[in-house]
Amino acid sequence: MRPGVIGIASYAAASSPQLGENARCISLPSIAATGVGVVARIVNAVIYGALATTRAAALVFGLFFTLPGSTATDTITSTVTSLVPANIGNMSFISPAQSQPATLTESQSDALSTYNKAVSDFKSILHQRWVQINSNQQLPNLPGQALYLARNKMISAYKDFTDAFPSKIGRPNKFGIPPAYFDAHNEPLLDDYTNLFNIMEAPPVNAQNSDTPVKDVVDLGTDIGRAKGLDAANAEVAGRISLGLFFAETNGNQNIGNARSNRYKGSLQTGVSEDQNGQRKWAAIRQSITAFDPALSARDDKEEARVGNLDHRFNHWTAVRDGLMSTHADLFSQILAIVKVLPNPIDQMKLFELIQIIPSPTKSALKSGNLTEYSISDATILGYLRNNSIFTFGQADRAKTSATFREILDAMWLFNGKFERALSEFNEIKARQKGDNQ
């Protein structure tokens, strides 16, 4: 979600991929995210000043274990060092792009050279960040932005290479990235990319976690949907969409920072003004929610007392509640119509993510009566999409001057893994609830 002023400035992201301040927390699905997240929070306590210039420092909350004081530093140093891949910048495999026949056309040769340089540059910035973290060096402002741009250049360069040399499209990869865009031999690089972001975006030490973060999102989204007039079935859809937003914004990690922005934080990556707007809107519907779900209202009272004067974005419950109320709740009443046009739950999640990235055009598309064929041709809006990994990769994608919403939804393939995980988690919650009721 993005705070704005008026007109074009109210859209979600910076108009250029070079501008990181307005960037959302978009990264690849985390591999073994839970384990890395624990380490990340410990690392954050040690290198806190180097990682976040604007985060508040207080007491560690909710760590899964505590290290003895006399050995904590050595243990942490050892743990972090063990995360650094020994072969970054010296990968021993030979990828299909590196083992091409000697005879290439000029365009193929140029594409291959550009791709190899992009891979080398990506390895270099990965290695640089690991060295900075392990040696407790001060990180640059927005330390994730250079990583993000280098990753995008690598993916873009590979797409340009496979466009020039289609026969060299490789095998599928574990991230679900279309093979024409990504060489599966480079999976370890994206694992390191994810691990670095988990460390750089670790929550502040006083963040207030929830023991049931996924269920919280579903419960809040469902009750907000009911308060907006949805029946039980469509309120469940609101809960499912809300969970998709949580995974899209944070990979399902609560209370995180943002290594590409000093402005957006927390479990739904909101700005201060968005959070405050959400608080006001929640207050307006809270009484109606209390009437049909007093248990959720009681939980809300508990979290409000707990958060006190802390930034609401660093209490998982209040961050999700305020984020949903600020931007999405007013559109929950349209879910019945949206489901008819977009029956695929993943597409529904993508649409609500677009409400965060390009809110005004998405709302206009919803009002048009022909959602999927509604077209966008404004270069600034397309720039916002590209700054959020949509039409970002390869010359052909970047050359697009217009796109329908159907094309935009299809281009959001980097979100697929996040939304599939959210859908799986949602189905597990519903299965447990069904079992408990039998």
pLDDT digits (tens, 9 = 90+) for 101-153: 568 889 899 999 999 999 999 999 999 999 999 999 999 999 999 999 999 99
Q: What is the pLDDT of residue 99?
A: 57
The pLDDT confidence band at residue 55, using thresholds 50, 70 and 90, is very low
Residue 379 has pLDDT above 60, yes or no: yes
pLDDT of residue 84 exceeding 60: no
Average pLDDT over residues 187-200: 97
Which residues does 61 contact at the CB level (< 8 Å), separation at least 6?
205, 206, 207, 208, 209
pLDDT above 80 (res 333): yes
Burial of 407 (0-12, 13-18, 19+ CB in 10 A): middle
CA–chain centroid gap for 36, Å, is 16
Q: What DSSP letter does each residue of 370-423 carry, written as one string?
A: -GGG-EE--HHHHHHHHTTTSS-SSHHHHT---EEHHHHHHH-GGGHHHHHHHH
Per-residue pLDDT, 11: 33
What pLDDT was estimated at residue 228?
97
- DSSP one-letter code for 328: I
Dihedral in degrees, nearest 10, Cα atoms 152, 155, 157, 159:
-130
Lowest mean pLDDT among 24-33, 209-218, 322-331: 24-33
**H helix or E strand, kind and range, residue 283:** helix 272-292
Q: What is the average pLDDT score of the chain?
A: 83
Conformational region of residue 269, where left means phi above 0, alpha means psi within -120 to 50, and beta covers everything else: left
Per-residue pLDDT reduced to its tens digit, 271-315 = 999 999 999 999 999 999 999 999 999 999 999 999 999 999 999
Rounded to whole angstroms, the Cα distance separating 293 from 316 reads 20
Residues 6 or more apart in contact with residue 378 via CB below 8 angstroms? 361
Task: Judge contact between 182 and 155, C-beta under 8 A.
Answer: yes
Q: Which amino acid is located at 319 in the chain?
A: A
